[in-house]
Amino acid sequence: MHVDSAILRESVGLGEGGASLFRLQQVLDDYGVTSQAFRLTVNELHQAVTLAGPAIALTSDEGLSHFVVVQEALPNGDFVISDPWFYRPRTVTADELSQTFSGETLVSETPSTNVSRWGRFRHSWKQSVFVNEVRENRRTITGVIALTLLVAALSISSSIYLQVSVDGFLQSDSISALTLTSLAFVGMVLAAGALQYIRGLIIVRFGQRVQKNLSERYVEKLLRLPVRFYSGRRTGDLASRLDDVQGIQTLLTSTTIGVSVDMAIVLIVGSYLAWSSLPLFGILMSSAFITVLASWSLYRGIRETSEEALQRDATLKSELINVLNHHEVVISHGKRDFAARRISDALSRRIESETRLGRLDNLSATIRLVTHGCFAVTVTWIGLLQAQSGRISLGQVLSFISLSGYFLTSLVNISTLQTTLQRSSAAIGRYRDIMTQREPVILPSPTGAHARTGGAPAQPDLPHGTPSALSARGLTFSYPGAARRVIEDVSVTVPAGRSVHLAGDNASGKSTLLKLLAGLHTADDGTVFLGGVPLESLDPDTVHRKVLYLPEIPMIVNATVRENLTLGAHYSQDEVDQACALAHATSVVDSLDKGYDEVLREDGTRLSRGQLQKLALARAVLIRPDVFLFDESFSGIDQDAFVRIWDSLATTGATRVLVAHREVDDLRCDLTMRLDSAPDRAALTKEPA
């Protein structure tokens, strides 16, 4: 049975708090796998895996707890571990595991059958991002390979020139023949240069197209994923995966083409060298064997270290982004040294990984240097002895030495491909982890044209720009890994066009309820209705256009004020002015030197939080939703302006729900609803405002 890691992650429901062993046990049971939870030592874990089969173990690394799969316990005491931080299983010693192992373990039954290597290969082949890209661009890749082979053939011809010119000139002593031969080979070199230039242009354009397509798909996929996906991911990690596109691009544009050419050179040139002098070719193959053996012996170490380096880099970026986003807190608390120390620790861990990888690369390069140096001396020595005895000509010796350089270079490129492949495979795995995430499913409406005609599902007709009632029945929701439910069996009705103050203690679930009503989260149980229509039967774009959720911290992009208000949509100047006036943001625009054309930074520097919130309110008014959901959206605005803006928003006629911890007695609200934080609450309590 093949279960994609991204689908399994979604089944478990990994989130901010991770997942409990109990939840993992439930998921395994759903897949028909029996398991039992234990608290074990490392030695007991080895015995359990040996007797019962694979186990899921809780570990802690860099202060982050996460689960790993212990696939196998080896006779020497080591373990084969599948870690979500790494693309492939790796072997760790008992001492290494004991440093992070918490003891909490979920032991599963022994698999009745093993998936064959061929079965795993076929599954991986079908799901491979690399294979799909090669298939889509096969014509371009084939053309570039053909050009590269032609360039290589013309370049290699210069080695044949040594044999032809030396042997021919020594025998005929004809200067004119030597001149013509030389000019002919110069022409070949010039032709190779012209073809190389054309090939380079094609590769550059091809690489740019691949990078653009992969990056756009990644960003589009990220923006389509549900809100709960982001709660379990670090911002730096998601951002760093755009860098992985560069690795995939290199694999497609350089590595794939280069390997194809290197394989051709090894076969063609190798055959010619074997025909030219079998004894010298035997020496050549001895050198090649040592080089290939050394490369493959370092294969596993380079692969695991490459994956570790990528993960450490993502951790460093996450730490740095967090510090930069909250630099005021760092400075005001006098914690510059603390922040610098955390970043330095993350940087040191990344450097350690890169250093280990560099040592492995250096060892491989040293072995190649010594092997090739010894080969060059040995071949020259034996070749000259054979030339002296008359077995081969001097031109053949020189040609053999020159062509051997091409042969060994191509062979080394193939054998050292492991470093590039392991870096690229880790990058592909991280990229694919996001691309295979499941997107929200849109269920067809049970009524309408679809029911009458049997055609495509029709969306319910909800006119835009009119107040809509918003209600929920029996809502239950818990964040993945949380010890308790945030919302449990809550029902609420917000009449169309009315204003509601949603009150409650801290951690009572007010913000979560708003996100459920906005369709940003999907309830574990219960249904949200908009205008009497279940939210899940509506297109997400329709829901978000009609129900607008405004968080406390506005999103600002590095663009003009006008672009921040419109976000790429077309509005007339009058519409923009009216929205700013209603949100009391006109004074904010007037305070800027260039007004609407003033460029803002994404961190909102030079504007207060209240000013940014007014701009965000103006942006929301421009959208003209049927329902406003304000989640501390006025927290930075002074009380008088807050009251005036709230009264102005009443003129839109839209339904309004407000969550605020500040004083709201001055506000005109039709209803006040209180969300109790008690664990046994069953519904909201309502009272007139």
CATH of residue 517: 3.40.50.300
- Say if 451 falls within a structural domain: no
Q: Same domain for 46 and 84?
A: yes
- Inform me whether the pLDDT recorded for 46 exceeds 80: yes
Structure tokens that stand for 71 in this block: 């696939």
Which pLDDT band holds residue 610 (cuts at 50, 70, 90)? very high
Which pLDDT band holds residue 423 (cuts at 50, 70, 90)? low
Q: Same domain for 421 and 478?
A: no
pLDDT at position 680 is 44
- Strand 547-550 vs strand 627-631: parallel, antiparallel, or unpaired? parallel
Backbone angles phi, psi at 685, to 5 degrees: -100, 135
pLDDT at position 318 is 76
Share of the chain above pLDDT 90, in %: 12
Picking from 95, 127, 159, the residue at the C-terminal end of a domain is: 127
Q: For 488-507, how does the pLDDT look when each residue is reduced to its tens digit (9 = 90+)?
A: 888 889 888 899 998 888 87
pLDDT at position 594 is 92
Q: What is the mean predicted confidence (pLDDT) over 558-568? A: 89
- CA dist., res. 332 & res. 563, Å (int): 33
Q: Same domain for 157 and 123?
A: no
C-alpha closest to that of 644 among 586, 567, 589 = 586
Q: Which residue has the higher pLDDT, 427 or 46?
A: 46
- Say if 516 falls within a structural domain: yes
Q: Same domain for 416 and 557?
A: no
Q: Which of 43-52, 297-306, 411-420, 671-680 holds the top average pLDDT?
A: 43-52
Q: Which residue has the higher pLDDT, 73 or 126?
A: 73
Torsion of CA 46, 47, 50, 54, to 10 degrees: -60
pLDDT at position 384 is 84
Q: For 428-446, how does the pLDDT look when each residue is reduced to its tens digit (9 = 90+)?
A: 777 877 787 777 654 444 4
C-alpha closest to that of 280 among 200, 156, 395, 380 = 380
Q: Same domain for 47 and 93?
A: yes
Which pLDDT band holds residue 16 (cuts at 50, 70, 90)? very low
Q: Same domain for 245 and 347?
A: yes
- Say if 18 falls within a structural domain: yes
Q: Same domain for 214 and 272?
A: yes
Q: Same domain for 585 and 677?
A: yes
Q: For 291-332, how does the pLDDT look when each residue is reduced to its tens digit (9 = 90+)?
A: 778 777 776 777 777 777 877 887 788 788 878 777 766 776
- CA dist., res. 400 & res. 383, Å (int): 9
Average pLDDT of the residues of the chain: 78
- Inform me whether the pLDDT recorded for 640 exceeds 50: yes
Q: For 234-289, how does the pLDDT look when each residue is reduced to its tens digit (9 = 90+)?
A: 676 788 788 778 777 777 777 777 777 788 888 888 888 888 888 888 888 888 78
Q: Same domain for 353 and 488?
A: no
- Inform me whether the pLDDT recorded for 197 exceeds 60: yes
- CA dist., res. 617 & res. 585, Å (int): 8
Picking from 85, 112, 127, the residue at the C-terminal end of a domain is: 127
- Say if 367 falls within a structural domain: yes
CATH of residue 85: 3.90.70.10
Residue identified by tokens 């304000």 is 630
Number of residues assigned to the chain: 689
Q: Same domain for 588 and 645?
A: yes
The 3-state DSSP class for residue 70 equals strand
pLDDT at position 611 is 93
- Say if 45 falls within a structural domain: yes
Q: Same domain for 186 and 72?
A: no
- Inform me whether the pLDDT recorded for 62 exceeds 70: no
For residue 515, the enclosing domain spans 470-688
Q: Same domain for 365 and 346?
A: yes
Total tally of structural domains belonging to the chain: 3
- Inform me whether the pLDDT recorded for 681 exceeds 50: no
- Inform me whether the pLDDT recorded for 588 exceeds 90: yes
- Inform me whether the pLDDT recorded for 664 exceeds 90: no
Q: What is the mean predicted confidence (pLDDT) over 155-182? A: 72
Q: What is the mean predicted confidence (pLDDT) over 539-562? A: 87
pTM of the predicted protein model: 0.61
Which residue type is seen at 219? V
Q: For 81-135, how does the pLDDT look when each residue is reduced to its tens digit (9 = 90+)?
A: 887 666 567 888 888 888 888 888 888 766 555 555 555 556 555 556 677 777 8
- Say if 449 falls within a structural domain: no
Residue identified by tokens 């309820």 is 513
Q: For 377-416, how does the pLDDT look when each residue is reduced to its tens digit (9 = 90+)?
A: 888 888 888 888 888 888 778 888 888 877 877 877 776 6
- Say if 291 falls within a structural domain: yes
The residues facing 529 across adjacent strands are 471, 534
pLDDT at position 273 is 84
- CA dist., res. 686 & res. 673, Å (int): 5
Q: Which of 185-189, 538-542, 629-633, 679-683 holds the top average pLDDT?
A: 629-633
The residues facing 327 across adjacent strands are none
- Say if 19 falls within a structural domain: yes
CATH of residue 155: 1.20.1560.10
Structure tokens that stand for 501 in this block: 């103050």
Q: What is the mean predicted confidence (pLDDT) over 587-615? A: 89
Picking from 127, 143, 161, the residue at the C-terminal end of a domain is: 127
